[in-house]
Amino acid sequence: MDPCVQPAPLTARRNGALKGRVRVPGDKSISIRALILGALAVGETRIGGLLEGEDVLSTATALRALGARLEPRGGGEWRIHGVGVGGFAAPAHPLDLGNSGTGCRLLLGAVAGCPIVAAFDGDASLRKRPMRRVLDPLERIGARTLESADGRLPLRLQGARDPIPIVFEPEVASAQLKSATLLAGLAAPGETTVIERAATRDHTEKMLGYFGANVRVAPEGQGGAGRRITLAGQPELVPAPIVVPADPSSSAFPLVAALLVPGSDIVLDGVMTNPLRTGLFVTLAEMGASIELVGVRNEGGEEVADLRVRSAPLRGVEVPAARAPSMIDEYPVLAVAAAFAEGITVMRGLKELRVKESDRLAATAALLRGNGVEVEIDGDDLVVQGKGPVPGGGLVTTHMDHRIAMSALVMGLASERPVAIDDGSFIATSFPGFVELMGSLGAELG
């Protein structure tokens, strides 16, 4: 973000029931992957419903610098003319990925399979996020890290001249880590395999297959909880039209707001319901939420549905660590829901939250404490004592984290006193138009 841009404080307050029908922006994970795979295909890829948030746009700018041609046509319609697997050109300047951890890590993988040198950088928040665990498998494939600040940005990467296929078993469940490895493996002869102990979101392998790559997915480990993903290298990716579904992570904010604000009744159109992304919906249902899936269908290879959400009393539950990969971005807003529930909610296995845009585990606990909610961090678990009414009245430090910002504003819509945030400017990284969309449902944000 431009240092000259001033923070944008916002306040949320109670203003009656939320009503209406809306569509949240396109899924960020699908949008970024569609741009990257379109740039690696040969020919023109057409994308509809692309999320035009800052994270996606910074990825598009980086792909242009790598030699692909990307043309926005308005209203989320884009055309991409790709350069083929291994065809990226050396960029003249550092690739600035802004706040996008997904764009940065996936592009590290895509560049690792090309015989070029590229510099990567980002904003102050992205510079704090660890890249070493992504660089490790890329170096096994044949890339070299020429410069790096302690495994963080800014860094320079020398792509592999002769990429080597590998078998890689990540220490942590991370879709970004898996995706970077598979994207690097595209340029290697033979088969690249990623073995997951716990299944993470599978958009990359689905989309690779959609673009013509040979990808095999098989259960792995005890009870088939993990997965073995095997990619045959050096395919010619074939352009394919993509319609990006509505983002379930972005849907979480109006959804939880409607559950908490009495009398609310809203419909969220065309939300992705991929089972590896719906951990929040499952958890909220266990808590007593009223969420109805209407018009379940398949669009562009992904399951989608319209969600009807009505206000309902919630109760505390225990959320198992195994569910974390399917809802890793939704824990802050789940913690807000837990604050209004009756009883204790325990969210287990949240180590990965410590290395998001902020230390999200600490930031989430601070958000709750600052608004009168009892909360404890026990190792990698978050324990929230729900008591029904939440006092509110706090000023939340967002730490340049869009999901902390939106979660705090959702709390303010149902708490006894308004909740303010120090800066809402980063919300646009994933949810442009958030304030306006919530306003159309009757929320008071300003």
SS3 assignment, position 144: strand
In the chain, helix, strand, coil percent, each to 5?
Answer: 35, 30, 35
In the residue annotation, 269 being an active-site residue is answered as no
* Residues 86 and 46 sit within 8 Å (Cβ to Cβ): no
* Residues 293 and 306 sit within 8 Å (Cβ to Cβ): yes
Q: From CA 358, how far away is CA 319, in angstroms rounded?
A: 22
Closest CA to 188 of 115, 296, 258, 101: 115
Q: How many CA atoms lie within 13 A of 440 on its CB side?
A: 13
Marked catalytic residue, from 27, 329, 401, 423: 329
Report the number of secondary-structure helices (H) and strands (E) in the chain. 13, 24
Q: From CA 423, how far away is CA 361, in angstroms rounded?
A: 19
* Residues 398 and 382 sit within 8 Å (Cβ to Cβ): no
Q: From CA 299, how far away is CA 284, in angstroms rounded?
A: 25
Q: Which residues pair with 308 in a beta bridge?
A: 267, 292
Active site residues: 329
